[in-house]
Structure 1
Amino acid sequence: MKRNILAAVALLALAAPAVAGEAGDALIEHLYAGTAAEGLADAGRACDAPDQEGCFALGLLKFVTAYEGLAQDLYRYGATTPGTSPAAMLLGLNMGVESIPANPNPEPLTYEGLRTVLTDFLDDLDRARTAFELAGGEGDYVIAIDPFKVRIDFNGDGQAGEGETLGALIGSMGEFTDIPAPDGPPPGGKTKGDAPAPLDTTIGFDHADAIWFAGYSQVVAAPVDLLLAHDFSDFFNAYLHRVFPKSGLPMQDYSSGGMLFMDPESDTGIADIIAAIHTLNFPVTDVERLAGVLVRLKSITALSRKNWEAILAETDDNRELVPSPKQTSLFPGMPVTQEVVDAWMATLDTVDEVLDGKLLVPHWRFKQGFDVKAYFETATRTDLVMILTGSGALPYLKEGPIADAASFAEANRVLGTNWFNYAFWFN
């Protein structure tokens, strides 16, 4: 299953179990209507009751509104890349579908304004994580959701129109059509008259998936937090007019200039890429935030272990997001066997050793390894070019075991070329 499909599934969990409570019914109503923000207060009260289903609703609504708020901020400031809407840009989706048009009259954007946008997004992700962890305790609820019916107000006009759905963002269902309906024929099967079998695109979410979402929130949060730990104003001034072309950034009026080698547009584009590389030299301005990124990364592996503990304890088989070896995978091309689970657990162990500085990251130039833990806890500057070329890595080199192919032997053997898809799926 390709990364874009998994990202789509990751974005939206909704609630409507076979016997839905009030929180589940309200959650579905708000998500399908594109009014997630309006449901936060009621979901919060349900979670305080406490009601695990209400906590799941709160986590999901906060997760959706975090994404929706970021998409609206990007639209407000005119973010665009060729053929990719701000929303798709955030999800890493670019499937050739028509983009949401960029804002023709964007507001001016400052470096401080962009930091505020990212900080607000990060705060919302952390609030979602808190609710998801509360929803991840022992409990018996299943929330059935069709992600393609979820509406999101991408441009902030106050309404989620026909084109502002997850399904419209993804385009065609593509490989999602491989998901078999519970009572239908197998994938690729036909009904009478060779008509396509009815497609069931719902997914059943339970307390194990709440833990999965808590981990996924940190997968998204970690790189944002890493950036915010630094001063990236030089990069903002030199390059981000390419992302926000009409928001008054310093180089906005010079996206097309004189001709140097090929043509004005190509030459300035190349120049801006060079400027971007040159300014990938960020002073650390918040050492506690940088150290906190390491804590986030370690929480991802811890939550993944907790997620699998809950998955393996399940006795039902209700259209699982991530199935146990005894359950049915909705993605036939990616079976989950005990061997796959064991390989994933071994991978988590290896990643933890890297994050703890017990296993070092190889550097092409040195016999010693790069200590990730030392970087997060002691760095005062992140100069990506100098780290990759060598001298910037010197403060973090040490003697010790270095990760190699053997360190991930089980994952390589069991998951093979599909390892990235499994990693994205399992997070």
Structure 2
Amino acid sequence: MKVLTAVATATLMLPAAAMAGESADALVQHLYAGTAAEGLPGAIEACYTLDEEACFAQGMLQMVIAYEGLAQDLYRYGATTPGTPAAAMLLGIGSGLETAPANPNPEQLTYTALRTVLVDFLADVDMARIGFETAGMNGDYVIKIDPLKVRIDFDGNGEATENETLGVLLGSVGEFADIPTPDGPPPGGKKKSGAPTPEPDTTIGFDRADAIWFAGYMQVTAAPVDLVLAHDFSDFFDAYLHRVFPKSGLPMQDYSMGSTLFMDPDSDAFIADIVAAFHTAEFPVTDRERLAGVLERLQSITALSRKNWELILAETDDDRELVPSPRQTSLVPDTPVTQETVDAWMATLDTVDKILAGELLVPHWRFKKGFDLNAYFKTATETDLVMLLTGQGALPYIKAGPIADANSFAEANRVFGTDWINYAFWFN
């Protein structure tokens, strides 16, 4: 469920009632009907005619197809959130964690099949990014969409029902962003009275700047997938992933409960699997070009963010903005965007660029020198998480030079404070 929630949250920023041309109308219809795959060929064909709205539709539909396909694959192989009630209570994170897969009869999963799932997802994400980047090159359009009405066929039964809308699936996300669901409370925590409450407007007006925003998020999504695929993680797959796919025929599937060693058979076996996960967290790099490509994706994220803000700051309208300029209205209550906010974000991008270029080093607790992230992506032959953390595995990338510290992110710390993670997610 954690993966599905992340998938759903990433898809939250989707379109509502279109006010533009035929391509926008078709996009909204397919999103609300849960027929993204049917609408994609027409959007691609129209995009070839330099119809910017069609290119935005191509990116949006391809993105939905990517997340829908990933969700269906996870369901097909019986993915679930690993957890044990006893261990959860011990760690103070509550009990009653779901351990049974959503799909009671999953298919057998192999290491090769899992890599195929990730490769297919990555291909769809990259196609979506191309559509969004094209839609961000030119055009003056606004496509209004209600994210809560978007339907996605998560279980792959061929039908996206009314129970598979993002509004139903996300539930509390509207409360998190103070964008209420139709059946939820009004914004600002106001209680409903006996009088009828008007249905809240949960639409977002997507424009050229938002196309670049989505392109950046496609790179945010793709980078960790590419990082995984650059390595051989088969030992980790065999040792631990039966906890994620408990009925899919993995080697340790039948041994998720053993004898009692410390607490109880369930919790002790879970702890043993955690130890095995750490022991197998040594991943040989099998695709050096792909690993170097992760660096390029990360550098692209900051470049797209700069382009996004260039377009945002040039806007003259104020129409249900996903990310507003200092002159526009924020849809997030009590969170206006000011020029000081923008300046702090640009300063943060400058710092991140220096880290990615190897001009500013990442601190390592064991060394007075810093870790060159640029050198790691370009030259690493393995990623041993334990050895990197303890020090020996980091030695090839340790060098003298300026090291990032709190002062490197002083503006972000001053302006964003403890909310910096929320701003980073919002601003991309």
Instruction: Give the TM-score, by structure 1 length.
Output: 0.91
Q: Is the 8 A contact 1:15 1:25 kept in 2?
A: no
Partner in structure 2 of residue 262 of structure 1 = 263
Gaps of 5+ in 1: 84-95
- Correspondence 1:325-404 to 2 at 5 A: 325-404=326-405
Q: 1:356 to 1:321 in 2, by over 3 A?
A: same
Partner in structure 1 of residue 138 of structure 2 = 138
* CA drift at 1:192: 8.6
* CA drift at 1:13: 2.0
Which amino acid in the other structure matches residue 106 of structure 2?
P
Provide the C-alpha distance between the structure 1 equivalents of 2:176 and 2:97, rounded to a whole number of angstroms. 16
Provide the C-alpha distance between the structure 2 equivalents of 1:54 and 1:115, rounded to a whole number of angstroms. 31
Residue 144 of structure 2 aligns to a residue whose secondary structure is: strand
Which amino acid in the other structure matches residue 105 of structure 2?
N
- Correspondence 1:137-156 to 2 at 5 A: 137-156=137-156
Q: 1:82 to 1:393 in 2, by over 3 A?
A: closer
Which amino acid in the other structure matches residue 154 of structure 1?
F
Which amino acid in the other structure matches residue 70 of structure 1?
L
Q: Is the 8 A contact 1:365 1:390 kept in 2?
A: yes
Which amino acid in the other structure matches residue 55 of structure 1?
C
Q: 1:292 to 1:118 in 2, by over 3 A?
A: same
Which amino acid in the other structure matches residue 41 of structure 2?
A
- Correspondence 1:30-69 to 2 at 5 A: 30-69=30-69
Which amino acid in the other structure matches residue 330 of structure 2?
S
Q: 1:290 to 1:175 in 2, by over 3 A?
A: closer
* CA drift at 1:139: 1.0
Provide the C-alpha distance between the structure 1 equivalents of 2:163 and 2:282, rounded to a whole number of angstroms. 39
Partner in structure 2 of residue 278 of structure 1 = 279
Q: 1:99 to 1:310 in 2, by over 3 A?
A: farther
* CA drift at 1:319: 0.5
Q: Is the 8 A contact 2:15 2:203 kept in 1?
A: no
Provide the C-alpha distance between the structure 1 equivalents of 2:323 and 2:7, rounded to a whole number of angstroms. 11
Q: Is the 8 A contact 2:179 2:202 kept in 1?
A: no
RMSD: 2.4
1:174 aligns with 2:182: no
Provide the C-alpha distance between the structure 2 equivalents of 1:288 and 1:153, rounded to a whole number of angstroms. 34
Q: Is the 8 A contact 1:324 1:336 kept in 2?
A: yes
Provide the C-alpha distance between the structure 1 equivalents of 2:110 and 2:187, rounded to a whole number of angstroms. 53
Provide the C-alpha distance between the structure 1 equivalents of 2:52 and 2:403, rounded to a whole number of angstroms. 43
Which amino acid in the other structure matches residue 113 of structure 1?
A
Q: 1:100 to 1:27 in 2, by over 3 A?
A: farther
Which amino acid in the other structure matches residue 75 of structure 2?
Y
Q: Is the 8 A contact 1:178 1:187 kept in 2?
A: no
Deviations 1:273-309 (A, max 9, x none): 1111111110000000000000000000000000000
Q: Is the 8 A contact 2:80 2:100 kept in 1?
A: no
Q: 1:117 to 1:301 in 2, by over 3 A?
A: same
Q: 1:385 to 1:115 in 2, by over 3 A?
A: same
Q: Is the 8 A contact 2:295 2:356 kept in 1?
A: yes
* CA drift at 1:262: 1.4
Provide the C-alpha distance between the structure 1 equivalents of 2:100 and 2:273, rounded to a whole number of angstroms. 25
Partner in structure 2 of residue 419 of structure 1 = 420
Deviations 1:153-200 (A, max 9, x none): 00100001222111111124324445799xxx9845689966545311
Deviations 1:52-80 (A, max 9, x none): 00000000000000000000000000001
Which amino acid in the other structure matches residue 426 of structure 1?
F
Q: Is the 8 A contact 1:132 1:210 kept in 2?
A: yes
* CA drift at 1:8: 3.0
Percentage of matched positions with identical amino acids = 72
Q: Is the 8 A contact 2:347 2:411 kept in 1?
A: yes
Deviates more, 1:332-341 or 1:233-242: 332-341
Deviates more, 1:282-291 or 1:26-35: 26-35
* CA drift at 1:17: 3.3
Provide the C-alpha distance between the structure 1 equivalents of 2:169 and 2:58, rounded to a whole number of angstroms. 24
Q: Is the 8 A contact 1:9 1:147 kept in 2?
A: no
Residue 383 of structure 2 aligns to a residue whose secondary structure is: strand
Q: Is the 8 A contact 1:149 1:166 kept in 2?
A: yes
Q: Is the 8 A contact 1:369 1:400 kept in 2?
A: yes
Q: Is the 8 A contact 1:15 1:57 kept in 2?
A: no
Q: Is the 8 A contact 2:81 2:99 kept in 1?
A: no
Q: Is the 8 A contact 2:362 2:370 kept in 1?
A: yes
Residue 273 of structure 2 aligns to a residue whose secondary structure is: helix
Which amino acid in the other structure matches residue 289 of structure 2?
E
1:102 aligns with 2:102: yes
Residue 216 of structure 2 aligns to a residue whose secondary structure is: helix
Gaps of 5+ in 2: 84-95
Q: Is the 8 A contact 1:97 1:170 kept in 2?
A: no
* CA drift at 1:332: 1.7
Partner in structure 2 of residue 320 of structure 1 = 321
* CA drift at 1:259: 1.6
Provide the C-alpha distance between the structure 2 equivalents of 1:99 and 1:273, rounded to a whole number of angstroms. 16
Q: Is the 8 A contact 1:180 1:330 kept in 2?
A: no
Q: Is the 8 A contact 1:75 1:106 kept in 2?
A: yes
Residue 326 of structure 2 aligns to a residue whose secondary structure is: coil
Which amino acid in the other structure matches residue 53 of structure 2?
E
Partner in structure 1 of residue 291 of structure 2 = 290
Provide the C-alpha distance between the structure 2 equivalents of 1:266 and 1:28, rounded to a whole number of angstroms. 47
Number of equivalent positions? 408
Q: 1:343 to 1:6 in 2, by over 3 A?
A: farther
Q: 1:82 to 1:234 in 2, by over 3 A?
A: closer
Residue 358 of structure 1 aligns to a residue whose secondary structure is: coil
Which amino acid in the other structure matches residue 336 of structure 1?
V
